[in-house]
Amino acid sequence: MVTQATLTVRAVRHREARPSRREFLTLLVGPAAVSTVACWKTPTNPAGGGSPRLSSRPGAPSQTITPGTYQITATNPNDGFLVVPPSYDPTRPTPLLVSFHGAGEGAESMRSAMTPYASSRGFLLLAVGARGRTWDVFTYRYSYDIAFIDGALGWAFARCNVDPARVTVHGFSDGASYALGVGLGNGDLFSRVIAWSPGFVPESDAGTVGKPRFFVSHGRQDPVLGIDGASRVIVPDLKARGYDVTYVEFDGGHGAPAAVVNQSLDWMLT
């Protein structure tokens, strides 16, 4: 079990973060929405719209890869990283954790925080960076970040033997809120969702898909995303909608103590 220090990633509230005009025009067109029976709507959500639907799926890799850390794109480290653990065996399907960072941070924050766990526990890590200072749905709608994440997943699936039954989406703070929305819209891809200190579930114009399981944690003294208006609302709502939720509260602020990190990863890998 890894006992690294508490993960504390600086969070910035949802404002400024629109992409550049060039990024927006290039990445606006994402995967088509899926028509299902119900859309996720809650009246208190401050942001939402668009579809979080992803089209990339695990399959037989067309390329080979060896253990190490790889940038998703050659020119921009903030686009994200793929971490292949030392124990990776290309003949054996391996769990994959897709991680989303908090607002004002980047893919490097989750890569550095989660690489020791990926290496010691033997799972693949795909740490993806937002196009702006936070994720698309918080300042516009699900669109350009979803398109990039879909491409990043396809890139990873082409290189790694991923266990399709053990693909988890994960995030912290804004990234946790984003993971909740993306997980609900892609339960046929993500069997599990880990959300450390989320704020809310972003609205979607598309429907929920599948029945992923959830692990949610939150600090009782969180000064950034207060627990009473966040996880203590989110968790009962998910349970009322029939989802399996493991919920952990802890004494502390806006972060994820090592004990909670390890507990969530135990849950993911069980």
DSSP class of 242: T
Give pLDDT, residue 7. Answer: 45
* Stated pTM of the model: 0.85
Q: Which fold has domain 39-269?
A: Rossmann fold (3.40.50)
Q: Average of pLDDT values for 102-117?
A: 97
pLDDT single digits (tens) 135-180: 999 999 999 999 999 999 999 999 999 999 999 999 999 999 999 9
The C-alpha atoms of residue 83 and residue 95 are separated, in whole angstroms, by 12
Whether the per-residue pLDDT at 270 is higher than 60: the answer is yes
**What is the per-residue pLDDT for 125?**
98
CA distance 119 to 259: 17
Q: Report whether pLDDT(36) > 80.
A: no
Angstrom CA distances, 156 to 9, 81, 202, stand at 25, 10, 26
**H or E element: which one contains 237?**
helix 231-240
Residue with the larger pLDDT of the pair 43 and 224: 224
Higher confidence at residue 106 or residue 38?
106
For the cut 60, the answer to whether the pLDDT of residue 10 exceeds it is no
Within the chain, what is the greatest distance between any pair of CA atoms?
47
